Structure 1
Amino acid sequence: MTTQEASGRTGQWESALLPWLWLLLTGLFSVIVGLLVVFVPAATLATVGMFFGLFLLVNGVLAIVGSLVRTRWDGVSRVLTALAGLLSIALGLMSLRNELQSVLLLATWIGIAWLTTGVARIATGVESRRSGGGWLIFGGAVLSIAGIIVLVSPFSSIVALTLTTGWLLVIGGIVEMVESFFFRQK
């Protein structure tokens, strides 16, 4: 058997095995992570809070570095970027010191992001002269309401989001595992 024949057979084996096995393993991983999220939500939130704090720290450092090296920016943009970086570092340090603060900060961030994105979509829908503007307005309204709910009740909202995410991971993982067996039979 030549090397080319051997590599051809290996390639056929890999192309037949890997797609269904990949689906099976990712589905299994999704189910495991989803069950952990659902049955140990406090630990999940603490872990997410820690990563969020680390994200804020790194984001802050990168913003400050960016404000120093971006010579094309005007002075105001550079100063505001540096201030945003300092704020991000401060919030990151606060988040890493206290898990409760990090979860509250994350929920607040999500609420503000949803609210501002929703308002922007409503404005875009109102200005849109094309079809679909109504859907933008509707989606923006739903997103804005969700943002307000998260801002008014951040802890309950973040727990509900966590549990919803956990169950979606479990359901999605089961679907992927079932799909993997159908994929294997082809």
Structure 2
Amino acid sequence: MTFATAYTKHFPDELIGAVRTALIITSIVGIVLGIVAIIWPGPTIVVVAILFAISLIIAGIFRIYQAFAASFLSTGVRALLGVVGVIVLLAGIIALFSPGDAVWLLAVFIGIGWIFQGVADLYGAVTKSGHSPTWFLILSGIISVIAGIVMIILPVFSLQVLAWVGGIMLVALSIATLLTLPKKVEAPAEPAV
């Protein structure tokens, strides 16, 4: 089944035109953004890092709010939430006003996340608690840990590679979306008088 068939079955005829228009616009934007990420990975990374810094600021403010508002939590947990909130907020502010720090911070967060994922996969392989074959968990775990370490050691290079891969994927997915647009619905013929 193609996407066009799925859309046609899920949208009334009156909405197909609007769905097509929205998909065309988002695909064109996706192609442009993907090309920008491929051609200029450095500025793309800085923009993503600044958005990451803004998200840290929001997350820090939310944690601080939780520390004061979550009266059902113990005082120790609330204090911990407050301290974590302040640290995350400060990291976000520093990263926002220093794009170089924002890029480094983004790389460290991604690297640590990959390392934790790799360790979790290896643990799943050792304890046989994973739902995937053991060999796959071991391979996935090793690759994730190595990728996390490389991300932390070579942050700018690693993020550029991610920008290139992300840009290529965005262009490919946007083109695929354009190729699978829902078919136009023909207006019913006017009855002859």
Q: Provide TM-score, normalisation by structure 2.
A: 0.81
Q: Distance in 2 between matches of 1:131 and 1:60?
A: 35
Q: Cα deviation per residue 1:80-101 (whole Å; 9 max; x = unaligned)?
A: 2111111111111111111111
- What is the 5 A alignment of 1:27-38? 27-38=27-38
Question: Taking every aligned residue pair, what percent have the same amino acid on both sides?
Answer: 24
Q: Which protein has the bigger helix share? A: 1
Alpha carbons 1:23, 1:179 under 8 Å: kept: no
The residue identity in structure 2 corresponding to 1:89 is L
The residue identity in structure 1 corresponding to 2:34 is G
1:103 corresponds in structure 2 to: 103
Q: Distance in 2 between matches of 1:33 and 1:144?
A: 30
1:142 corresponds in structure 2 to: 143
1:54 corresponds in structure 2 to: 54
- What is the 5 A alignment of 1:1-186? 11-15=12-16, 17-129=17-129, 132-134=132-134, 135-180=136-181, 183-184=182-183
Alpha carbons 2:52, 2:102 under 8 Å: kept: yes
Q: Distance in 2 between matches of 1:102 and 1:69?
A: 29
Q: Cα deviation per residue 1:37-73 (whole Å; 9 max; x = unaligned)?
A: 1222232222212211111111111101111222222
Following superposition, the deviation at residue 161 of structure 1 comes to 0.7
Relative to 1, partners in 2 of residues 1:32 and 1:23: Cα closer, same or farther, differing over 3 Å?
A: same
Q: Distance in 2 between matches of 1:103 and 1:184?
A: 43
Q: Provide TM-score, normalisation by structure 1.
A: 0.83
2:7 corresponds in structure 1 to: none
Q: Distance in 2 between matches of 1:148 and 1:168?
A: 24
Q: Which moved more, 1:21-30 or 1:114-123?
A: 21-30
Deviation >6 Å, runs of 4+: none
The residue identity in structure 2 corresponding to 1:21 is T
Q: RMSD across aligned C-alpha pairs, in angstroms?
A: 2.0
Q: Distance in 2 between matches of 1:18 and 1:170?
A: 22
Following superposition, the deviation at residue 23 of structure 1 comes to 2.9
Relative to 1, partners in 2 of residues 1:99 and 1:131: Cα closer, same or farther, differing over 3 Å?
A: closer
Q: Distance in 2 between matches of 1:64 and 1:13?
A: 47
Following superposition, the deviation at residue 125 of structure 1 comes to 2.7
The unaligned stretches of length 5 or more in structure 1 are 1-10
Q: Distance in 1 between matches of 2:138 and 2:72?
A: 37
Relative to 1, partners in 2 of residues 1:164 and 1:29: Cα closer, same or farther, differing over 3 Å?
A: same
